[in-house]
Amino acid sequence: MSETGHQGQGGDTIDPPMAMLAELTHRCPLACPYCSNPLQLKQAKDELSTEQWIDVFDQAAKMGVLHLHLSGGEPASRRDLVELTQAASERDLYTNLITSGVGLTEQRMNSLDDAGLDHVQLSLQGADAQSADVVGGYKGGFERKMHVAEWTNSCGIPLTVNAVCHRRNMDDLDTMIDLAVTLQARRLEIATVQFNGWAVRNRAQLMPTSEQVAATTAKVEAVRERLKGVLVIDYVPADHFATYPKACMGGWGRIGINVDPTGLVLPCHAAETIPSLTFDNVKDKALPDIWYRGDAFNAFRGTEWMQEPCRSCERKHIDFGGCRCQAMAVAGDAAATDPVCAKSPLRDELRANAIAASAGDDTQPFVYRGRETVSS
Ligand code: SF4
Ligand code: SF4
């Protein structure tokens, strides 16, 4: 039974989280130049054990979580992935595997199906082997993904294709969309690269031009209409050229909860970039205690913490002031208005910097995490 009726600051009711992102591991055979995982990855030796993860899933289900995203790094790097999926499924959690596909075999896919896996989200780093393997920094990765899509379809598991778009691939969007249709994906998520984590190191190579952003937005609109009933397209447009920010995480501490590979519980994937916050660990505290009463979750929950212009803004219940991590990174203050907002005093500077980056040399090789080698 879920805990309900908790009161937050300002008297708002705190509902249980709807979705949990379980970052099972930070290990990953790929090295995407925009990887959003922290610069300092958590080590395999510090990861939660099988039993500890199952206990987290148990607590999550009891407190009312409905969706469980099994993510990473590459979740297939965990040998116990089938066991974890089965445990989650037995607790009636809707399980979504977010994977690069590398590390999955046909047999493992069948075992995941038997374990009750509900959905697969497969990342694509490019529309063909040559470009995808350069971006992912992994030779043969594209071919593996094609097989994973096939096995997923054979199992009858719904497939979503995830594509991060950026300066170097935005002009290939048509090919990416055609590929998603060929792979029989039901949904395509096109997310414009976010400049946190490793993406900052490859800013010039990845920052789209404002013309690319406008063309992509128009194309998505047109293709959505053309592919109605065939493919659903979710599109996350570029931040830097937007008027208002997105409701990051659907609002801080409102619908989503993240657990990192070591059991640290975070209000968002990048929350550790905010130095003033301290985070609880599932090894020390019960999950509901952390969600309802944890300092990090209550720091930016609701609207009481807001400064002007957010405090008196008519959109404060729509976007919740945007992204706290972006405010921290650009304004140096996690409680500031998200600098992508037209009402932020930093917006013009942010946009000018983005335009300058997008006019730079994008032919420079990517810088890959943990590797000396670079590739064009
Ligand atoms: S973004 Fe790429 S490198 Fe990072 S975890 Fe995902 S697949 Fe691995
Ligand atoms: S001022 Fe704050 S609440 Fe208003 S639109 Fe901008 S970020 Fe959103």
Per-residue pLDDT, 360: 82
Paired tokens of 363 = 């032919």
Residue 3 confidence (pLDDT) above 60: no
Q: Is the CB of 28 under 6 A from ligand 1?
A: yes
Which tens digit of pLDDT belongs to each residue from 6-53? 776 666 789 999 999 999 999 999 999 999 998 889 999 999 999 999
Which tens digit of pLDDT belongs to each residue from 76-122? 999 999 999 999 999 999 999 999 999 999 999 999 999 999 999 99
The Å distance, Cα 351 to ligand 2 centre, comes to: 17
Residues written for the chain: 376
Q: Is the CB of 101 under 6 A from ligand 1?
A: no
Per-residue pLDDT, 1: 46
Sheet of strand 159-165: strand arrangement: 232-236, 187-192, 159-165, 119-124, 94-99, 67-71, 19-23, 256-259, 265-266
User: Using CA atoms, how far apart are residues 172 and 295, in angstroms rounded to an integer?
Assistant: 44
Q: Is the CB of 310 under 6 A from ligand 2?
A: yes
Per-residue pLDDT, 239: 85
Q: Which residue's C-alpha comes closest to atom 5 of ligand 1? A: 73
Q: Which residue's C-alpha comes closest to atom 6 of ligand 2? A: 341
The Å distance, Cα 71 to ligand 1 centre, comes to: 10
* pLDDT grade for 4, boundaries at 50, 70 and 90: low
Q: Is the CB of 162 under 6 A from ligand 1?
A: no
Residue 374 confidence (pLDDT) above 60: no
Which of 310, 323, 340, 346 to mutate for ligand 2's pocket (most ligand atoms within 8 Å of CB)? 310
Which tens digit of pLDDT belongs to each residue from 223-256? 999 999 999 999 998 888 889 999 999 999 999 9
Which of 77, 99, 123 to mutate for ligand 1's pocket (most ligand atoms within 8 Å of CB)? 123
Per-residue pLDDT, 375: 53
Q: Is 6 exposed, middle or buried (0-12, 13-18, 19+ CB in 10 A)?
A: middle
Considering the entire predicted model, what is its pTM?
A: 0.94
Which tens digit of pLDDT belongs to each residue from 313-351? 999 999 999 999 999 999 999 999 999 999 999 999 999
Arithmetic mean of pLDDT, 202-230: 93
Q: Which phi and psi angles does 62 have, rounded to 5°? A: -65, -30
Q: Which residue's C-alpha comes closest to atom 3 of ligand 2? A: 316
